[in-house]
């Protein structure tokens, strides 16, 4: 079913097969290849750490930190101010109303953190950034140190974006009040890909997008509820046939719901 065919720098290329009614289609997909001994570090700079604490302190992400596989560090931007009022924002130049995060505290925060370690990526969350995808999550999960800057109000002084960051990421074509929820989305999706974080049972390999297809439907007991039955094949005990059925379902669902994913192949 899965064939380790080519080792690239960061990713192992794998292949999965979906049998359509006409032919057997081969999908190539990539899973992160990461040095298991290495611990990932993520630093997040924000004016609202409270907003990001909760989503990152439960379930899989909490366990990843407890196991020592990942360390997530929140930094309050105000801690890098030098004035009495700990000012992080100021009025935008020009006629438009709204506040903008100032460059000085961001510069100070970056300088301090970068003096302590090298960051593989310095990310700014922004609605006009690169659209976030599973592919990008895979890529980031192979990194050792990542720094994420959350914007707020009207955003950050554009000189930060021009000179200090390496990547801008958008989690979708809509506008949030701040980058904290976007950062939480990025961190959650990256951390679960770090080797050792997910158990075999919850392996990311069978998730949607990971192999270029949507995931097949899943069911659990009871086998019948309200007269609604679980497909017979899943109760057959024939794992080979079940796998074939799952691939077929994944392919058909992708064709129906997200045909663009098949075109990318």
Binding site for ligand SAH (CB under 6 A): 125-128, 150-152, 154-155, 170-172, 174-176, 178-179, 182
Distance of closest approach, residue 207 Cβ to ligand SAH, in angstroms: 21
The b-or-e profile of 214-223 (16+ CB within 10 A means b, else e) is bbbeeeeeee
Residue 38 CB, nearest distance to ligand SAH (Å)? 27
* Closer to ligand SAH by Cβ: residue 129 or 216: 129
Report the residue number, 13 or 161, with the smaller CB distance to ligand SAH: 161
Q: How far is the CB of 131 from ligand SAH (least distance, A)?
A: 9
Cβ nearer to ligand SAH, comparing 76 with 253? 76
Q: Work out how close the CB of 173 gets to ligand SAH at its nearest, in angstroms, rounded to a whole number.
A: 7
Q: How far is the CB of 161 from ligand SAH (least distance, A)?
A: 10
Q: Are 72 and 187 spatial neighbours (Cβ–Cβ below 8 Å)?
A: yes
**Closest CB to ligand SAH: residue number:** 151
Give phi and psi for 64, each to the nearest 5.
Answer: -60, -40
CB of 92 to ligand SAH, least distance (A): 9
Give 146 or 171: the residue with its C-beta nearer to ligand SAH.
Answer: 171
Cβ neighbour number for residue 225 with a 10 Å cutoff: 10
How far from the centroid of its chain's Cα atoms is residue 16's Cα?
22
Locate 21 and state its tokens: 């009614």
Judging by DSSP bridges, how do beta strands 224-225 and 89-91 pair with one another? unpaired
Please give the structure tokens belonging to residue 189: 């999706």
Rounded distance between C-alpha atoms, residue 77 and residue 49, angstroms:
9
The SS3 of residue 18 is: strand
Query: Which is nearer to ligand SAH, 104 or 168 (by Cβ)?
Result: 168
Say how far apart CA 205 and CA 2 lie, in whole Å. 10
> In the complex with ligand SAH, which residue's Cβ is closer, 98 or 217?
98
């Amino acid at each position: 079913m899965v064939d380790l065919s080519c080792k690239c720098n960061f990713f192992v290329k794998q292949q999965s097969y979906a049998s359509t009614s006409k032919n057997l289609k081969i999908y190539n997909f990539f899973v992160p290849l990461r040095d298991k001994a290495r611990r990932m570090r993520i630093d997040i700079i924000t004016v609202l750490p409270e907003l990001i604490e909760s989503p990152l302190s439960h379930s899989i992400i909490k366990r990843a930190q407890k196991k020592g596989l990942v360390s997530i560090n929140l930094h309050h931007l105000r801690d890098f101010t030098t004035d009495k009022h700990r000012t992080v924002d100021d009025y935008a130049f020009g006629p438009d109303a709204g506040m903008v995060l100032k460059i000085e505290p961001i510069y100070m925060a970056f300088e301090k953190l970068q003096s302590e370690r090298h960051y593989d990526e310095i990310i700014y969350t922004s609605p006009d950034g690169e659209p976030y995808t599973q592919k990008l999550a895979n890529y980031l999960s192979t990194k050792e140190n990542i720094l994420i800057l959350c914007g707020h109000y009207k955003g950050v002084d554009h000189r930060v974006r021009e000179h200090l960051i390496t990547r801008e990421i958008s989690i979708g074509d809509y506008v949030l009040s701040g980058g904290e929820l976007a950062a939480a989305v990025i961190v959650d999706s990256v951390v679960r890909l770090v080797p050792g974080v997910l158990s075999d049972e919850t392996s990311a390999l069978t998730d949607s997008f990971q192999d270029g297809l949507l995931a097949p439907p899943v069911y659990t007991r009871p086998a019948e509820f309200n007269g609604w039955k679980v497909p017979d094949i899943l109760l057959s005990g024939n794992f080979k046939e079940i796998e074939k059925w799952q691939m077929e379902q994944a392919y058909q669902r992708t064709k129906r719901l997200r045909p663009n994913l098949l075109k990318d192949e």
